[in-house]
């Protein structure tokens, strides 16, 4: 969209950047609501301390707070007042076990985004959460485009954006204008766009998941980055990079890998590319007790694969559906059941992964720590 300076803003597309805060004095409620919010695709920060919640609002991480009205000390209405005085743009949702129309009006008048009865109605709560997230993300993207005016905007995982967001992005590219939420004024911008995705956007266009006009707008110059399997010569360099990083992070002094551990890494297919390798080295740094990472320090699925390769070639013809099922199972095993991480490695959305798991009869399993239940 024009020449650019060194100023850069990054937009990550796959999920909302909204981080809700949960304020409740009941630990069981905090745990339950955190799980509900995680299941809806957001990562919440739970707390029973209203001062901590206000600090999170003031410092910026939390742009939405879910507050219990009837709590000791600072009740929900007082928190709402203090939060809005601290930041008028914060979204506060109040919840109560004594819901009435009058109490709802009392909450909405001073500026609450919503007033929810307990126990939480998940469908209504999901709508409220998504509306707040959409508003926040729209404001954030406008601010980022405005900040990057004369510079570069990096759109990460653009293939994960929803069709409505694609339409808005297309208008920005075509008109070279942005409009703040609630403002009638359009601001002219001049930015260079760089978009990244691990999806085949041509296939996504044919499937109706990505706008064809936006695809051609973004694909003036295409650069394909080879997978890690196509550049195995980079494995030793990446190993050393991640060793240095996690030696510092964990206070370890691991010098390298044994020869047989190096062989396993060179033989691995790396379906998750560099992200998968980082997780492997990070985990191995934690478990390593000596100066070098050995086979016993590597994830179990890599060790099992090495044993199978030593036992001989057990290949057999499979249908594409069977290949997909086996591959998903292996990636899930590599991620220790964390479905969000597995979806990232597979290059698909979490909803698509859940759909495959349900189709293959694996959708009823509980997800391990680090993610939400299916």
Residue-wise pLDDT tens digits, 7-37 = 555 544 444 567 899 999 888 889 999 988 8
3-state class of 153 per DSSP?
Answer: strand
**Per-residue b/e over 64-97, b at no fewer than 16 CB within 10 Å?**
bbbbbbebeebebbebbeebbeeeeebbbbbbbe
Q: What is the pLDDT of residue 169?
A: 86
Q: What is the pLDDT of residue 312?
A: 45
Q: What are phi and psi of 68, to 5 degrees?
A: -80, 130
Q: 190 Cβ partners below 8 Å, 6+ apart?
A: 1, 2, 3, 4, 149, 150, 176
Residue-wise pLDDT tens digits, 283-328 = 899 989 889 999 889 988 787 765 454 444 455 677 777 778 888 8
Structure tokens at 113: 């985004």
Q: What are phi and psi of 235, to 5 degrees?
A: -55, -50
Instruction: Using a cut of 0.85, tell me whether the model's pTM lies above it.
Output: no
Q: What is the pLDDT of residue 13?
A: 43
Q: What is the pLDDT of residue 316?
A: 64
Q: What is the pLDDT of residue 373?
A: 33
Q: What is the pLDDT of residue 305?
A: 62
Residues in the chain with pLDDT < 50?
2-5, 11-15, 307, 309-313, 364-374
Return the closest-CA partner of residue 49 out of 34, 30, 35, 28. Answer: 30
Task: Check: CB of residue 104 under 8 Å from CB of residue 124.
Answer: no
> CA-to-CA distance for 200 and 143, rounded, in angstroms?
29
> CA-to-CA distance for 66 and 132, rounded, in angstroms?
12
**Per-residue b/e over 304-331, b at no fewer than 16 CB within 10 Å?**
ebbeeeeeeeeeeeeeeeeeebeebebb
Q: What is the pLDDT of residue 148?
A: 80
**Per-residue b/e over 30-59, b at no fewer than 16 CB within 10 Å?**
bebbbebbbebbbebbbbbebeebbebbee
Could you give all domains of the chain from N- to C-terminal order, each with its CATH number?
20-134 (3.40.50.2300), 136-218 (3.40.50.300), 228-311 (1.10.8.60), 317-374 (1.10.10)
Q: What is the pLDDT of residue 149?
A: 85
């Amino acid at each position: 969209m024009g020449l650019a300076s060194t100023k850069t803003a990054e937009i990550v597309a796959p999920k909302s950047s909204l981080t809700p805060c949960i304020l409740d004095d009941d630990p069981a409620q905090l745990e339950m609501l955190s799980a509900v919010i995680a299941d809806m695709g957001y990562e919440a920060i739970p707390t029973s301390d209203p001062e901590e919640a206000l600090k999170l609002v003031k410092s910026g991480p939390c742009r939405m707070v879910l507050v219990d009205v009837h709590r000791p000390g600072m009740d929900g209405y007082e928190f709402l007042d203090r939060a809005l005085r601290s930041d008028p743009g914060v979204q506060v949702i109040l919840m109560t076990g004594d819901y009435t129309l009058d109490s709802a009006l009392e909450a909405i008048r001073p500026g609450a985004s919503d007033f929810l009865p307990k126990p939480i109605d998940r469908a209504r709560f999901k709508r409220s959460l998504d509306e707040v997230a959409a508003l926040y993300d729209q404001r954030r993207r406008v601010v980022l485009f405005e900040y990057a005016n004369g510079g570069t905007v990096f759109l990460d995982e653009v293939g994960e954006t929803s069709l409505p967001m694609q339409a808005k992005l297309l208008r920005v590219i075509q008109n070279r204008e942005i409009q703040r939420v609630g403002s009638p004024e359009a601001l002219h911008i001049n930015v260079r766009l760089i978009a990244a995705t691990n999806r085949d956007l041509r296939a996504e266009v044919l499937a109706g998941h990505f706008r064809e006009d936006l695809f051609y707008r973004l694909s003036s110059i295409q650069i394909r980055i080879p997978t890690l399997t196509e550049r195995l010569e980079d494995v030793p360099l990446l190993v050393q990079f991640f060793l240095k990083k996690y030696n510092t992070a964990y206070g370890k002094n691991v010098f390298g890998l044994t020869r047989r551990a190096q062989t396993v890494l060179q033989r691995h297919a790396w379906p998750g590319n560099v992200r998968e390798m980082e997780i492997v080295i990070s985990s191995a740094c934690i478990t390593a007790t000596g100066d070098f990472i050995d086979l016993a320090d590597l994830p179990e699925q890599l060790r099992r694969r090495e044993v199978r390769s030593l036992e001989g070639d057990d290949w057999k013809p499979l249908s594409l559906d069977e290949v997909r099922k086996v591959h998903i199972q292996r990636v899930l095993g590599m991620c220790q059941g964390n479905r969000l991480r597995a979806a990232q490695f597979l290059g698909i959305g979490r909803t698509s992964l859940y759909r495959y798991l349900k189709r293959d009869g694996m959708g009823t399993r509980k997800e391990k720590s680090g993610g939400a239940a299916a």
